Amino acid sequence: MPSNDVITQEALNVYLKDLPDWREVPGAIAAVYETKGSAEAIELFSDIAGAAEMDNHHPDVDWRYNLIFVTTTSHDVGGQITARDIALASKISERANALGATARTDLVGVVEVCIDTDNPEAIASQWAAGLGYKFLTDGSLADPNRRGPAIWFQGTDTPNDNRLHLDVWVPDSESQPILAALEASGVNAQADNAPAFTVITDSQGNRFCICTEAGRWPE
C-alpha cells in the first residue's frame, strides 16, 4: 500500500487489533502513555520525535509530567488516517514498551464544541474569524495549531434552545464506566443512537454527548 493511501474503516479496524495501545478518534488515532516519572516521559518524547523525523511524519505530542498524549493523522490528505499513521503508531508503541511505559487507553479522548444551526454557512465564517480557525473539508473548523477544540456545526431545521453543546469523544472500550458514572450522578441519558453517541442532559437542561467510534463511520 502506498504510504499516502487513506485507510478504509474496515482496514483500520484490522490494523487497530494489532495496535492495542491506540484508539480511533475523529480523523486520527491516539494513545496515552504513563511512565514512571518525568525523566522517562521526556525520554519517550525524544524517542517519538526521533521516529517522527525518521519517517518525516509528525504527530501531535503533549507532555504532562509522567503522561505522554500522542495523536497522529495525515494533514496532507485532509486530516485522514493513512498507512504512515499506522507505521508511526507501531514504532511509538515499540519505544513505549521498551521504556516500560503503560498504555492508558482510558485517558484517550477528544472534545468538540457543537453548534445547532439551521444555516451553518451564515455563521461559520464568523466563528472562523473570531477564533482564527481554518475550515476542514467536512465544514467544521479547526485550530491551525491543533490546541483548541474543533467547532462542529450541527445542521438541523429545529435548533435546540441551548444551541451549544460538547461532543466528548472516548473509545468505545472505555465508555461504559463513564456512562455508568453519569447515570449514577442523576443525568438523563438518551441512548437511542448508542454506542455512536449518547445524549446527556444535566439537571439544568444543558446537554453534551458521549461519542465513540463504534457504529459512527461506515465500513
Task: State the pLDDT at residue 217.
Answer: 56
Would you state the pLDDT for residue 5? 86
- Tens of pLDDT along the chain (219 residues) come to 444 689 999 999 999 999 999 999 998 999 999 999 999 999 999 999 999 999 999 999 999 999 999 999 998 887 889 999 999 999 999 999 999 999 999 999 999 999 999 999 999 999 999 999 999 878 899 999 989 999 999 999 988 888 999 999 999 999 999 999 999 999 999 999 999 999 999 999 999 999 999 976 555
Closest Cα to residue 177, out of 102, 101, 105?
Answer: 105
Torsion of CA 151, 155, 159, 163, to 10 degrees: 0
Give whole-number Cα distances, 211 to 84, 168, 178, 193, 194, in Å: 26, 6, 11, 10, 8
In the block, residue with C-alpha cell 482510558 = 106
Q: Where are the domains of the chain?
A: 9-107, 110-211
The contacts of residue 7 (CB under 8 Å, 6+ apart) are: 15, 80, 81, 82, 83, 85, 86
Q: What is the CATH number of domain 9-107?
A: 3.30.1360.20
Report the interhelical angle of 83-98 vs 38-55 (nearest 10°): 150
Which neighbouring-strand residues pair with 199? 190, 209
Per-residue pLDDT, 110: 95
What per-residue confidence (pLDDT) applies to 1?
Answer: 43
CATH topology agreement for domains 9-107 and 110-211? no
Q: What is the largest CA-CA distance in the chain?
A: 53
pLDDT of residue 4: 60
| CATH level 3 topology of 110-211 | 2,3-Dihydroxybiphenyl 1,2-Dioxygenase; domain 1 (3.10.180)
